[in-house]
Structure 1
Amino acid sequence: MPNIWTHMLFCEDVVDSIGKPNPFPANEKFMNLGAQGPDPFFYHNFWPWIKEDAVQEVGLKLHQEQCGSFLLDLITAAKSLNDHVRAYVFGFVTHHILDRNTHPYIHYRAGYEGNKHQKLEVIIDTIMMEKDKNLKTWKVPVYKEINVGSSLHDDIVHLLDKTIKRHYNNVKLDETDINKAYQDMKLALKILADPYGWKNLLLKSMISSFSHRPLKDQEDYLNINKDTWYHPATKEPSTKSFIDLYEQGRIEAIEITSSILSYWNDDNVTENHLYDLIGDISYDTGKPLELHLENRYSDPIV
């Protein structure tokens, strides 16, 4: 998955492109948080001495199982809920769309060793925000961009808890865990923030893969040179850059989210139509889940 900044950037780009009236500018932080999709679950009990965490497994399930039907349930429930929830769900959908379009490239170019996946995502964050917003990621405390309060709003917690338990049997999760995942994500991002670089000097082995820093090399992390890479599950060749994949996702997201807004506004859009648009596609492989594909190929650049 791209990292926190790139997901917020993508969501903002989609909102700016759809051209439909929406309540999201007044609910930007809910949208930014939603744009992190299932990722907050990966921060639950993030301390390195905690080796296994059942809540983090929920994050994996959301990325790899029943992806389309889970999203559709969030969308249909949000139809009768408030603008905070709608902004959150809108962001969540954009997370899925960006992941499914860019994740194959990330997996292939990061590989599966240690924290290399996160390292490449953080690097791409820094490049994308510098390019599009002239923003230096290491200087801005990103946790503030997703801060919707000391606790996650009850209506969002209830929605996630109900929908997760409907789709994923025997998950070890309650509403307290959902709220703690949100709080732990903010805490982790606060700890990783390193505007002066001293944390990376002192704690490099522990935080360097997760902490935004200035880039000091000339590696073509976005594949601007259009080198051939291969889908990590199917070995299909591609020369698309990360920018190409981002734009491909943006075009998809405009169609899908425009239909979601129409559905919420009772503009003759059906749930079946939404499901046809969204499909049932893995966040990780970008391919239909019915193919049962697994990422395995890589050629890391980090």
Structure 2
Amino acid sequence: MPDFWTHILAGEKVLKSCENEELSNLIAENYQLYNFGCQGADILFYKDFWPWKRSKNSSQAASFIHRISAKDIFAIILKDLDQSEIYKDGKIIAGAEKRGLLTYLLAFIVHYSLDSISHPFILANGGAGQKHKLIEIKIDIYMIDKYWNKDVLELNPQSYYQLKAEFKEEIERFYANIFSELLPYPYKAGMIEGAYTDLKKYHSLFCDNKQYKYYFFKLLNYLYPDELASYSYQLAKDKEIWSAENYQQFENYFAQSLNKSREYFTLLFNYFKKEISLKETLSAFSSRDFLGQNKAKNSL
């Protein structure tokens, strides 16, 4: 993916270094929506996450989206935006709901950049199998300690993101368009709202430092087939999985992704201003998917 906090950190760093006042103000208006967007389609993995009701449709959709190229996904999104007047007289003039959609789109780009650039390294270093999410939880712990000087267990993830009612329709349509054009099954109304609600439940369950939960999950791990350290930061702290060198190498890919996000922000702003065409904009997007695999039509 990488996981929740690393995507939040990437979004923060891109915003802080954004020299475009129009875009930075746009994001600042709805910063919690931006943080939600930085999670990308990962939110669908959390829909019905309980073992007894786990939704195969949502998780399969999330996996499918991760295997679509940026060029194909953003073609769908930008073609939809192409019908709207976004920029005029030196500023973004879109209404509140559309401004929320633009904010989400920018965050989605941050998510894509980090995923596509860091995933090949993660997959090549133990993340190709069942340890994938555990590695990404450990990356969260490392990155938040390194860049925020904080323990992830001291943080409440739910305070960082929000999907307000006024934006739900636009975000649902964002995904409905992707489903209808690129996925082999239809979008179910309310899927994103349901995923958002379940993400809140997931964070409430797994992301705090209550001692009783540590011992409860540790005991439950003897009975439950999955490695619960892949979900609980408390249990993950007990695991050693990567060397210091691996974390340092990941930071290099993280930095590369921030630069790529900034490039895409500039590209999109030029598109909003109608300085470049939709075709020119899409030609600059990568043909790689979220896993970093090349999806170019002429690739083998």
Corresponding residue for residue 201 of structure 2: 187
The 1:112–1:257 alpha-carbon spacing in structure 2 relative to 1, beyond 3 Å, is same
2:77 matches 1:87: no
Moved more, 173-182 or 3-12: 173-182
Give the Cα–Cα distance (whole angstroms) in 2 for the partners of residues 152 and 126 of structure 1. Answer: 31
Corresponding residue for residue 157 of structure 1: 172
- Deviation of 1:47 (Å): 0.9
Moved more, 38-47 or 51-60: 51-60
What's the secondary structure of 1:128's corresponding residue? helix
What's the secondary structure of 1:89's corresponding residue? helix
1:6-85 mapped onto 2 (5 Å cutoff): 6-21=6-21, 22=23, 23-50=26-53, 53-78=56-81, 80=84, 82-85=98-101
Give the Cα–Cα distance (whole angstroms) in 1 for the partners of residues 10 and 67 of structure 2. Answer: 21
2:199 matches 1:199: no
What's the secondary structure of 2:196's corresponding residue? helix
Give the Cα–Cα distance (whole angstroms) in 2 for the partners of residues 162 and 146 of structure 1. Answer: 23
Size of the aligned set, in residue pairs, is 276
Query: 1:78·1:89 contact (CA, 8 Å) conserved in 2?
Result: no
Query: 1:44·1:53 contact (CA, 8 Å) conserved in 2?
Result: no
1:261-276 mapped onto 2 (5 Å cutoff): 261-264=269-272, 266-276=273-283
Give the Cα–Cα distance (whole angstroms) in 1 for the partners of residues 244 and 258 of structure 2. Answer: 17
Moved more, 61-70 or 144-153: 144-153
- Deviation of 1:289 (Å): 4.7
Of 128, 139, 162, which aligns to 1:124?
139
Query: 2:121·2:250 contact (CA, 8 Å) conserved in 1?
Result: yes
Per-residue CA shift, 1:63-104, capped at 9, x if unaligned? Answer: 003442212322443463621111111101111110011001
What's the secondary structure of 2:233's corresponding residue? coil
Corresponding residue for residue 232 of structure 2: 211
When normalised by structure 2's length, the TM-score is 0.83
The 1:260–1:57 alpha-carbon spacing in structure 2 relative to 1, beyond 3 Å, is same
Give the Cα–Cα distance (whole angstroms) in 2 for the partners of residues 76 and 122 of structure 1. Answer: 35
Per-residue CA shift, 1:187-231, capped at 9, x if unaligned? Answer: 1111111223431321132632112237457765563587xxxxx
Unaligned runs of 5+ in 1: 227-240, 294-302
Corresponding residue for residue 87 of structure 2: none
The 1:224–1:40 alpha-carbon spacing in structure 2 relative to 1, beyond 3 Å, is closer
Corresponding residue for residue 106 of structure 1: 122
What's the secondary structure of 1:55's corresponding residue? helix
Give the Cα–Cα distance (whole angstroms) in 2 for the partners of residues 222 and 277 of structure 1. Answer: 35
Per-residue CA shift, 1:150-199, capped at 9, x if unaligned? Answer: 79611211222123212223x14312222211211121111111223431
Of 265, 276, 294, which aligns to 1:287?
294
Query: 2:76·2:177 contact (CA, 8 Å) conserved in 1?
Result: no
Give the Cα–Cα distance (whole angstroms) in 2 for the partners of residues 152 and 59 of structure 1. Answer: 21
Q: Which amino acid aligns with 1:243?
A: E
Give the percent of matched residue pairs that are identical in Structure 1 and Structure 2.
20
The 1:56–1:217 alpha-carbon spacing in structure 2 relative to 1, beyond 3 Å, is closer
Query: 2:68·2:290 contact (CA, 8 Å) conserved in 1?
Result: no
Q: Which amino acid aligns with 1:98?
A: L
Unaligned runs of 5+ in 2: 85-93
- Deviation of 1:34 (Å): 0.7
Moved more, 284-293 or 208-217: 284-293
Give the Cα–Cα distance (whole angstroms) in 2 for the partners of residues 122 and 221 of structure 1. Answer: 15
2:153 matches 1:145: no
